Structure 1
Amino acid sequence: MSKGENTLLSLEAALERIRQGKPKRIPTHRKLSVRAVEEEANLGNGSGYYYPEFVEKVKQTKAEIAAGKGEITQPEIQTVRTKLKEQKRIKENFKAKYEAEREKLALFAASQHHLNDKLVKALSRIDDLEYENANLKTELTELKRNKIVSIK
């Protein structure tokens, strides 16, 4: 037997052990894939892909296992589309939340600006009143000084 035949035999034996649920080198809960079969057969990464018919056999076995568990196997493109729709939904959800928070921030900034404007006006009015108060005090002082009469 050649090396290639030995490799194919070890891959098929590993696949059969996985199919029966009695793998030696990988956990039983691991998903079936060509890489999982390669690890079970104690072969290098990618060695199973030299045998396209074996890759098809793994895919077929995976579909059979899924059908046996009552799972529906979807074509890969359908799975990708489903994931894409989910990602779009999540992105739109985050975008809506972002826009809502952005509007809140704009309202907060506007009210902050409005309050700041009122504060500046109030401080200006206080300065004007303090200036007027100071002028009135000096005027009152002058009037009181004019009423003073000397005693002789």
Structure 2
Amino acid sequence: MNKIKFFLFAALMSANSYAADADYSQPIAITSDNNETSIKENVSVYTENVEIRQGSLNIKADRLEINASAGKGNEVFITTGNPVRYSQLLDGDVPVNARAAEIRYDLASRTLTLSGNAELSQSGSQVQAAVIRYNIETQQISAESGEQKKRVTTIFTPENKENP
């Protein structure tokens, strides 16, 4: 089973496709229609038309809760929506896109956890599952069927080569 996951990872993600380092050095900008923050609890909640940007990383959601209780650089962003949408350009301007009912972004580990009809696509290939964990920095994917036992589906799109 681990060999299958490794093959899935290798086929879906190109070896020289990494998130642009410049993205991680950029500030995180959040816009929304509403915001409530508890300074004492270190929790902020944004609602309606939420957008998170960090360089080319972009997440659009209906609701965002940020838990900053673990300190600066260790914030956890939990977004929900119908669906939440994520996009980012990797080095070489290769786009990666995802969507799910919930996307959790762990800033310290640079990991996205997509839950609820999760879908991740890059370069025409796609993974669909109940839960997908995606490390933005290392480009590693783990997909699970979840409690509903919805099977993991992977679609590989062949590379188009011009005829001589």
Query: TM-score per shorter chain, which class?
Result: under 0.3
Greater helix share, structure number: 1
Which gives a bigger RCO, structure 1 or 2 (Cα 8 Å, sep 6+)? 2
TM-score (structure 2 length as normaliser)? 0.23
Greater strand share, structure number: 2
